[in-house]
Amino acid sequence: MKTSFDSIAVVACGLLACFVSSPRDLAAGDAPPLVPSHGPIVDVQAPPQADSAGLAWKAPATWKPTPPTNQMRKAQYALPAAAGDAPEGECVVFYFGPGQGGDVKANVDRWRTMFTTADGSPGPSKVGEVKVAGRTITRVEATGTYTATSMGPGSAPPPPKTDWMMLGAVVPGADANWFFRCTGPKKTIEAERGNFDALLASIR
């Protein structure tokens, strides 16, 4: 009789071993069976990494962030109007994708053609370079009558705006240039020159 009980015990231990995973099995990725209280298994993916091509900067506290109006605008801000200026100024950060957006000269030339004098000749402009965190940033100023480009195929350009100003910068990124451009009434943009330069100095 003792032999029978011993045989039953051996069989029972063998069955129990079938249901208990060894530490080596678990370490290899074999999870123990779920008990009924568990919910369904969900495939949780890692959060997306920051875009390696992206830039970071610190916007002035007086600039109000506004929702970008298209995908090419990575950020945009409303600038406080100077005394006597009806509309606010605007500063927009453009990024068009890897390898897109054009070179420095093409963009600087295009920006300068947006400003003309009363007789239609090119408006006054200045172009220079500043060094920030190992980058050479091209900085542009232009004044005069501002005629923006059209917003898209088939759309008419906005009406010209007299006595306006632009502060712009072309900033090299990891895979393409980024473009910072502030436009608005001349007094308003003149008042924001220090803030614009502080933003450029903060770019990383």
Examine residue 170 and state whether it is found in any structural domain, yes or no. Answer: yes
pLDDT tens track for 177-190? 999 999 999 999 99
Residues of the chain with pLDDT under 70: 1-53, 150-154
Question: What is the pLDDT at residue 23?
Answer: 38
Examine residue 51 and state whether it is found in any structural domain, yes or no. Answer: no
- Closest to 182 in 3D by CA, of 68, 79, 84: 79
> What is the domain-level CATH number for residue 172?
3.40.1000.10
Domain extent for 172: 64-202
Question: What is the pLDDT at residue 89?
Answer: 97
Examine residue 54 and state whether it is found in any structural domain, yes or no. Answer: no
Q: How many domains does the chain have?
A: 1
Examine residue 177 and state whether it is found in any structural domain, yes or no. Answer: yes
pTM of the model: 0.72
Question: What is the pLDDT at residue 53?
Answer: 53
Question: What is the pLDDT at residue 52?
Answer: 38
Examine residue 116 and state whether it is found in any structural domain, yes or no. Answer: yes
Question: What is the pLDDT at residue 44?
Answer: 32
3-state secondary structure 101-152: CCCHHHHHHHHHHCEECCCCCECCEEEEEEEECCEEEEEEEEEEEECCCCCC
Examine residue 31 and state whether it is found in any structural domain, yes or no. Answer: no
- Closest to 163 in 3D by CA, of 91, 87, 107, 108: 87
Examine residue 40 and state whether it is found in any structural domain, yes or no. Answer: no
Examine residue 21 and state whether it is found in any structural domain, yes or no. Answer: no
